[in-house]
Structure 1
């Protein structure tokens, strides 16, 4: 019996415009264990966001299926929460309100008003935003907005947290702080995470495995790199770590030398 928590099985995706069809993904097969942190990396146009959106239920694959705990994923649901590069906060709501709206939607019938309030505050504290709960999005920085987006996603208690280049629009220092926060949250919650990134260092730092996509069109998984670095991971120590350097070099080599030729995924 296959007890994999999350499974992509023979996923293919084509988009049609009139008489023209473009195959974006072909024969994508991947299993992800519960509590695993997996990053997708590849050149622009390799179908990373398409694959994430299929898992999120925002797109329906042309061929193949996605299974979560043995059940087919075919529509959006609170068991899969997405954090986009653009924070997607509602500007007329406070920081608190942007998290509360998700909590009320998911737990409106199962938690009391007081319990929902406590749960909102708990998740804002997880991302160190409780002190800014009454501010509106235009009153906080880009990094703080993204923290609120992460809090909102976590507050849904999803089985899988999906992150589409969540730190891509941030400056280097803010990005580093948020990466550290995500590592701490993942260690504390043990949640399953699938993240898209273009950043090789970010992929190696955060992930248990890095899934490397071949170039599109008809992109597929080229290689999968296991990152055997002990947790918790501290970036200053890893800067001189030989295993970190090996993993980083392996991803770089794939992206710049072997991204066109699919190898057998491990």
Structure 2
């Protein structure tokens, strides 16, 4: 039996502060196939970001481990690019230079200077930001900043793109445009994506699978829902699609029941 491309295997995470231990995650088991788009959803405090940070190598598991493409993850690396809710662009650099910095870091020995320029421009084209290549972050909108952050991450050619609520701080219309862009990019590249979200509609629209987390402390995976919607997807057409409505209801029911459980405790 072949191993999944990304495997989170028996992972537990406990933080210790001033002698007090807090178990955030317990017995996390998840397999993600190459090219899949997987969303993680759950109430605040259920360890979603901790789970993403474990895959990114930004924190170490207390028990178990993470395996990507048959190699154990134990530190950050360019094969796992992260896009946070905060764009994290360097304010003194232009849009082009922010992306080029990542390209130079990853490909300085593999691509010529001209090739690195072409690759930078290619990734700006993917997110439709070539027109703003010479602007600094302070001169562009929040949605544009996130586009640049996604371009920078994609330019590293990561094995897995990790998204930590990348559209959470944006208005509804900008968020919808970026969701559509992300679907288009994923359809074009076929890349593997792991995304944290609080938005049920976003999870159903974008994902092949939705991982639903139980509440913390000691959160674990409650259910994994497959989304049986063919690609490419059009949001307006899906609004009345029975499979879309059914998936949305399943996630909402899970989250509502978990919240009800918390209130009753």
Range class of TM-score, shorter chain: over 0.9
The corresponding residue for 1:74 is: 74
The corresponding residue for 1:28 is: 28
Mind listing any 5+ residue stretches in structure 1 that lack a counterpart? Answer: 262-266
Structure 1 residue 258: deviation in Å?
4.2
Structure 1 residue 259: deviation in Å?
6.5
Structure 1 residue 3: deviation in Å?
2.5
Does the CA contact (< 8 Å) of 1:214 and 1:260 recur in 2? Answer: no
The corresponding residue for 2:182 is: 182
The corresponding residue for 1:141 is: 141
The corresponding residue for 2:11 is: 11
The corresponding residue for 1:46 is: 46
Does the CA contact (< 8 Å) of 1:153 and 1:161 recur in 2? Answer: yes
The corresponding residue for 2:171 is: 171
Mind listing any 5+ residue stretches in structure 2 that lack a counterpart? Answer: none
- TM-score, scaled to structure 2: 0.97
Structure 1 residue 18: deviation in Å?
1.5
RMSD: 1.0
Q: Give the distance between the partners of 1:258 and 1:195, measured in 2 at CA.
A: 21
Structure 1 residue 2: deviation in Å?
3.0
The corresponding residue for 2:193 is: 193
| Residue 129 of structure 2 is aligned to residue 101 of structure 1 | no
Q: Deviations over 1:31-72 (max 9, x none)?
A: 000000000000000000000000000000100000001110
Q: Deviations over 1:141-195 (max 9, x none)?
A: 0000000000000000000000000000000000000000000000000000000
Does the CA contact (< 8 Å) of 2:9 and 2:30 recur in 1? Answer: yes
Aligned residues: 261
- TM-score, scaled to structure 1: 0.97
Does the CA contact (< 8 Å) of 1:85 and 1:169 recur in 2? Answer: yes
Structure 1 SS opposite 2:30: strand
Would you identify which runs of 4 or more consecutive aligned residues in structure 1 move more than 2 Å? 258-261
Q: Give the distance between the partners of 2:7 and 2:228, measured in 1 at CA.
A: 22
